């Protein structure tokens, strides 16, 4: 989405010719292949370590960091691969995303229209919030956590469940009809709350 917003804001006249269907498919396929290869590499490395008798993970999925905590053998190679390969796959895209938003920010500040600037900042700001939530929790679990506890489990929920659910919601809020429907729902909820809190006034009004 960062690249899409970058092209839409910085090169609006060439957006349709650059962001073609083939390029979108290529971006998705490259991402899928890259991270599938990363997962396959970690799967192969899990053949070597031996695990203790207590092999129960108190988690909702078999996370790599939690799984390595159960190993009774040397896992220095696994940790080295996580730090090197995982760091590259995490920090390189993060730097590219932040760089694209810095470029977007410099373009927006040159636009004289305040209304257009606020609209662009609202769209990009919501996506930047999701990016910060995703990468922040992911880096915290894999690079700054020494013990697997409830805090790490909560953080893993953020990057595996919450952030994928927020992305479609952010895209939906860009649609004017969905915005109006959401505003109507909020007004109805507030109206029913007001009636429940003021039953006497509601009856007199009738």
Q: Considering the entire predicted model, what is its pTM? A: 0.66
Q: What is the mean pLDDT of the chain?
A: 76
State how many domains the chain has: 1
| Strand, helix or coil for residue 71 | strand
Residue 206 maps to a domain: no
Residue 111 maps to a domain: yes
Q: For residue range 32-79, list pLDDT tens digits in order.
A: 898 888 888 888 888 888 877 667 776 677 777 777 777 888 888 888
Q: For residue range 168-190, list pLDDT tens digits in order.
A: 776 666 556 666 766 777 777 67
Domain of 95, in residue numbers: 2-174
Residue 197 maps to a domain: no
Residue 97 maps to a domain: yes
Is residue 8 within 8 A of residue 15, CB to CB? The reply is yes
| Strand, helix or coil for residue 180 | helix
Residue 184 maps to a domain: no
Residue 198 maps to a domain: no
Residue 191 maps to a domain: no
Which residues are CB-contacts of 6 (< 8 A; sequence separation ≥ 6)? 100, 101, 103, 104
DSSP 56: -
Which residues are CB-contacts of 88 (< 8 A; sequence separation ≥ 6)? none
Residue 7 maps to a domain: yes
Return the closest-CA partner of residue 140 out of 159, 161, 166.
159
Q: Which residue has the tokens 């920090």?
A: 91
């Amino acid at each position: 989405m960062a690249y899409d917003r970058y092209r839409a804001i910085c090169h609006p006249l060439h957006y349709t010719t650059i962001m073609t269907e083939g390029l979108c498919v290529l971006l998705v396929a490259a991402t899928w292949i890259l991270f599938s290869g990363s997962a396959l590499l970690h799967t192969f490395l899990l053949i070597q370590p031996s695990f203790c008798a207590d092999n129960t993970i108190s988690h909702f999925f078999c996370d790599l960091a939690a799984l390595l905590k159960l190993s009774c053998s040397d896992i220095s190679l696994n940790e080295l691969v996580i730090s090197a390969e995982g760091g590259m796959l995490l920090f390189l895209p993060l730097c590219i995303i932040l760089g694209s938003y810095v470029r977007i920010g410099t373009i927006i500040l040159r636009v004289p229209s305040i209304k257009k600037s606020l609209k662009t900042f609202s769209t990009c700001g919501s996506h930047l919030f999701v990016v910060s939530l995703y990468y922040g929790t992911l880096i915290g679990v894999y690079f700054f956590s020494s013990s697997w506890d409830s805090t790490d489990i909560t953080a893993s929920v953020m990057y595996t469940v919450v952030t994928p659910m927020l992305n479609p919601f952010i895209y939906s809020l860009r649609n004017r009809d969905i915005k109006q429907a959401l505003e109507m729902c909020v007004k109805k909820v507030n109206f029913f709350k007001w009636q429940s809190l003021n039953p006497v006034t509601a009856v007199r009004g009738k």
